[in-house]
Each structure stands twice: as C-alpha cells, then as structure tokens.
Structure 1
C-alpha cells in the first residue's frame, strides 16, 4: 500500500490525535514567538491565542462547541477592541471543519457569520490594515474593497474545501456501506448455494445408496434361503450383489470426487432415459417382475437434467417397491410422451408403501422426487391405488427443453 494511503487511513482512524497535533503546531508557531518576543500586551495576546487554539482540540468531536468558543472569542475581540492575533488563523480551520463535519445549518451559519465578521473587522481595525479614515475616500475605498475581496475569498475558499471534503466523506461512507451490504449479500448467496448443494447431494446420496442397498438386501435374503437347496442360484445371486455394490461404489466415488473438486471424477455421464432398461434389469435380478412400456415419441428432446430427474423418479419408485411392496410383486413402468410433456407412471400390485416404524428417514424419497421434478415445472402424485398396490405418477413438461 502507498504511503499516502496509509497516512490517510491513519488520519481517519485517529482524529483526536490529529486535532491535538494541529492545535499544538499552531500554538508553537503562532503563539510562542510572540510570547518570547516581549511585545507590549503579550499577556493578552497569549491568553486570547491560547483560548482560540485550545478550542481546536474538540473541532471534530465537539464541532458546535469548538466553533462557538472561537466565534465567541472573536466577537468579544470586536466588542472590546482587543487587536487580532496571528492565531486568528483558526477561524479558517473552523470554517473548514463546520463545512466538513458540522450540520448544514451550522455550516451555512458559520459562513455567514465569518463573512460579516471579516467586513466588520476590516472597518474596526482599519488602521492596522492600512485603511485609515483620515485618508482620501478615493484612496480608502479601493484599498478597503481589495482587502475585503482578498479576505472574503480566503473565507469562501476554506468553506468550499470543507464542503468538498464533506461530500467526499459522505461518498466514502456510502461506498463502505455498500461494500458491507454486498459482502453480507455475497455471504448469504454462498450460504444459500451451499444449502442447495447439500440438498442436491443428499438427494443423490439417497438415490444411489437407497436403491443399491435395497437391491443388495433383497438379493442377500434370497441367497440365504437358496443356499441350502440351490447353491448355484446362491452363487449367481452373490454375483448380482457384488455388481450392484461395485456400481454403487463407483457412483459414490464420482459424487465424492465432485465434492473434492476432482475434474476427472466429474466427467462420467449422468444417467438418462436410455439407462432405464439397465435399471429395470437390475431390479428384475432381485426377483421383482418389472415390465416397461413406452408410448409415443417426444415432440422435442428433454434437457439432460430433466432426463436425470426422470431416471431418479423411476429409480426411487422401484426402490420403494423393493422395500415396501413385498414378495411376488408385479410392477409396470410406463413412459408416455404426450403433447405437453413426459408422463412417468410406476404401478405395483404389492401391499403399498405403509410406513415402517423401524425405517429411519421414511418419506424422504417422495420428497426428493417432488423437489427434483418441481425444478422443471413438473408435478408428482404418489399414493395407494384403489384396487391395491401403489402408484407414482410424475409429469415433466417440455417447457425447459
């Protein structure tokens, strides 16, 4: 950081120290020389100068009080005839401070009072400035006007610089406030994005783990019962369990690779509607009779995200069949491409998806399906059928294609 930026930051951080140093510098250079010079009336000069300078210590912390003290002392000088002192320079500093830090009424009031006070002072102390009333009016008036213009210009310059500093300070504060608000909004966006990502990861974990474990558990139960009478069937079933476990492990590694930022792990294509047959085949190996039929042709292609959503809906529905429908269940998966979108229907004739009190997290699959489909302006309806069994019906429109 440049030295002038560090200095500006330090000045903003230590206003009282800066004001005290300014008062001390004015006292040293504009008061002490006269005190050491032994001029006539030195006591009065030092006393008035000290009062003017000390008031500068509170010029920003107590703006009105500091300006009032300096204005009162200057007014008292005009009334009593006490001659101006070099420390009267603090009037310009006070004008700058009022314009930069004081309320607007005090700033404008101080400017008007200073303009009037300068004019009265030039008349009151004309002899000191070389404007003598004994001289010709043709000589006095032009000189008075020149002095008045010069001094009033200094007053206006000090006030204008203060007003510009006020505008700059307010702009700087507005930028700081805006930066803080943007930082808060950015943090909120990060939190919302993290929450959304956690929800997405939870859905992916549920879809991968729940389906694979349901297949593994069903196959393991079948292998246990078949091992005594048909060992070759048990060996085939164990092979299916191993394949399902490996597939689930690959999916988990891909998901965790994305979380770690592993680019190579995220290049594997996500499941689409073309993978439905492989999904159904894995469920059939678990002993569930599953039929799949497709009706119509799509009017337009669904985006990959919508196809992934359709795949997850079917996967979750079949997982529920494995967990809840019971043995000897027949399931039908229908993909109907209508004029408005894709309708997915999964029907089974099992005992239904009655809640199992021993199963933790029941109902999360339906909630996950609903959230996924809702992202594509779709709907999900799930519930027991009138004649027995359970139905899941999802609709995904073409609007997002």
Structure 2
C-alpha cells in the first residue's frame, strides 16, 4: 500500500474509532484485567480460578469493538460477568465479599450499546444489567445471612441506581449525537443543493450567452455576406451601390462588435464596471429597424402588424426580436436569390404571434446540420411558456411561427385590428 492509500485509511473515521478503542482496551487489559485476574487467583485455586482469570481479562478486551460492533461487545462483557459470578469469581475474606474490578466494565458496555447500538439492543442491555444487579443482590443477601434483607435491598438499589444513571446519561448522549448527525446531514444536503443550483445557473447562463452570441454573430455575418456579394457585382456597373454596400457592412460590423463587447463585459464583470454603460436590449418595437437592415441588403422583406399592441412581460420583447432575427438570418442563408420574406406580428387576446414566411427553396435548401438556431428559438420561447413551429409552408417556401401566451384582454379589445398593408419602409 502506498503512502496515499495509507493516509486515506488513516482519515477514515471508523478506522480512527477502532484504533482509539483498541488502545483503550489494551490499557484496561494491562491494568484492570491483570489486577482482577490476580484477585481471582488469590481467592481460589484450581481450574475454576484459571477460567475466571481468563474471563476477567476477556472483559476489557471486548471493549476494543464497543463502537464498531456494540452489540457483540456488550454480549461478550455480559456473558463474562455472568460466568465469573456463577463460577464464584468472588474473593472471600473472613467478613466481606470482594468483587473483581472488571465488573465495573458492565456499565461501560451498557453505555456503549445504548449510544451506538440499535433500539432493541438498548432495551435488552438495560434489562440484562438490571437482572445482573438482582443476581448480585441475591448473592450478597445469601452470604451475609442475618442481615440478608437489608443487604439485598442496599445492593439492589445501589447497583440498579448506577445502571439507571448510566443508561440515562447514555440516552442523553445518543440524543446529542443524533442531533449532530442530523445537522451534519442537513448541511451536506444544503451544500449539494447549493452546488446543483450553481451548476444549473452556470449552465443557464452559458446557454443564454451562447444564444446571444449566435444571434448577433450569425445575423451580422449573414447580412455582411449578402452585402459583400451584392457590392462585388455592383462595383462594375454602379459604384454608388457598391459604396452603400460597404457602408452597410461597416455599420453592421460596428454594431455587432459593440454587442459582443457588451456580452463579454457582462460575462467578465457582471455589471457595467468595464467603463461603458450597458446598452438597452432590443425589443419587439425594434423590428422595423431589423427589417430595414435586411432590406438594405437587397432582399424583399415586409413587416405586417395586427392587433392592439400592449406591454409585454420583461424579456418577452427580446425573445420576439431574437427569434425574428434568427428566422430572417435563416431565410437569407437558405431561401435562395429572389426570395420574398414577410414578417407578421399579431396581437391576439391571449397570445402574441410572430410568423416569418419566405417563398424560397424551403426544406430543399442545403444545410450542414450544425446550426443551433431552432434550438435557441425553442429555448427562448420555452422561458415564457411559448411554442415554436418551423417547417415548409403550404405553397412552397419556409415558415417559422412562435407564439407566446399573454394575459387575456377585456371584451373591448378582444377583436383584432384589420390587416394593414405590407410596409415598404421603416414605420
């Protein structure tokens, strides 16, 4: 066994308890056990004296496992005490009876089994000790003849009182140990729950940051690529269009860089201590600007609003904006050239619906299977009890539909407003 394994074993509480009890038992054998054996050998002779001497040495030795195996230890001590009492392990003088010192260890065994043993063993140990007190009182009364009744009562009350006092203190001690173990177990559970909550919070924060980074970077790169492709073809015939494309690319790059710095700043500092104030998060009211950015890349995109707008729960507006942003990004990447995109934002009595349709290639568009856009959409909507549906739409193209539940409106506002014509510019 290496040093590491030895240190680990020495740190084991059960091993430490067994070691301490073994050392104490060894000391009792050398002091009390040998003394009692000497008393027994002096009081009598013959084989019975040798047996008794061995028994009184075995009594302190049995205390070596009083905490690891309390029932076995108590049974051994009790049987040894009964055996030496039956064999007459009592040293007699002319006028008194002398009991061997190891008899006191019966109280130690009673204490140990009461503190560390099961409930049935505690009751059995108490009954056995009281029975031993009765037997000792009978032996005392028998020896002292005329004063037998008084000696019987005095011995019975004295020994039984010590037994009950030991048992009562052991019960008190066991109660304190159980309360301490309960507190330790509670602290352990609280520590586990705290660690689990920290892990869940970390995972949720990582997922949130991953969604934000994906939405910002993927959308910006898609628009930049579209602008770069358009500007490259327009550079030959329309330098002004190429210049507009480069301007859009520069603006989009700066906005994306600012968003990434904001996200990383919060990740690093947890607040605005990085030296710049935190910018407000986009909400559903910013969809016009988002559609305008897509339109500058040359894509035909329109925004339709239905119903009566009303305040959203905190974070719901950001969810609508990010889902729309991701849906538009996917349409830019997969719908194909010449595709038209329609964004519908509909306020219903008990829900808010966002629907992004395109008439492009739909599910036939190639995909590397590594995108996390739909996963992020569903995670965002699930935070508010919403649902996301994505797939080919009737008549061709692709549709992304998200619905977030909202508090019910009154009867006066339950009828949605008429459908407005598609917007061709920022509202």
TM-score by length of 2: 0.79
Distance 1:31 1:202 in 2: 73
2:354 — aligned with what? 344
Q: 2:294 aligns with which of 283, 301, 321?
A: 283
1:55-90 CA distance string (max 9 Å, x none): 222323343333233222222222222212122110
1:3 — aligned with what? none
Shift of 1:208: 0.9
1:166 — aligned with what? 174
1:326 aligns with 2:336: yes
2:114 — aligned with what? 99
Distance 1:77 1:33 in 2: 15
Shift of 1:224: 0.9
Shift of 1:142: 4.2
Shift of 1:35: 8.0
Q: How many pairs were matched up?
A: 383
2:7 — aligned with what? none
Distance 1:255 1:147 in 2: 84
2:318 — aligned with what? 308
Distance 2:164 2:338 in 1: 98
Written as runs of structure 1 = structure 2, the 5 A alignment for 1:224-303 is: 224-264=232-272, 267-298=278-309, 300-303=310-313
Q: 2:75 aligns with which of 68, 75, 94?
A: 68
Q: Cα distance 1:36–1:88, how it changes in 2: closer, same or farther (>3 A)? A: closer
Mind listing any 5+ residue stretches in structure 1 that lack a counterpart? 1-8
Partner SS for 1:89: helix
Q: Cα distance 1:191–1:400, how it changes in 2: closer, same or farther (>3 A)? A: farther
Q: Does the CA contact (< 8 Å) of 1:325 and 1:353 recur in 2?
A: no
1:133 — aligned with what? 145
Q: Cα distance 1:58–1:400, how it changes in 2: closer, same or farther (>3 A)? A: farther
2:94 — aligned with what? none
Q: Does the CA contact (< 8 Å) of 1:272 and 1:304 recur in 2?
A: no
Q: Cα distance 1:293–1:37, how it changes in 2: closer, same or farther (>3 A)? A: closer
Q: Does the CA contact (< 8 Å) of 1:302 and 1:400 recur in 2?
A: no
2:380 — aligned with what? 372
Distance 1:384 1:51 in 2: 87
Q: Cα distance 1:11–1:125, how it changes in 2: closer, same or farther (>3 A)? A: farther
Distance 1:329 1:311 in 2: 21
Q: 1:23 aligns with which of 22, 25, 49?
A: 25
TM-score by length of 1: 0.84
Q: Does the CA contact (< 8 Å) of 2:38 and 2:53 recur in 1?
A: no
Shift of 1:291: 2.1
Mind listing any 5+ residue stretches in structure 2 that lack a counterpart? 1-10, 91-98, 410-427
Worse-superposed segment, 305-314 or 262-271: 262-271
Instruction: Say what the alpha-carbon RMSD is for the aligned residues.
Output: 3.1
1:116 aligns with 2:127: no
1:86 — aligned with what? 101
Partner SS for 1:134: helix
Shift of 1:307: 0.4
Distance 2:133 2:167 in 1: 14
1:390 — aligned with what? 398
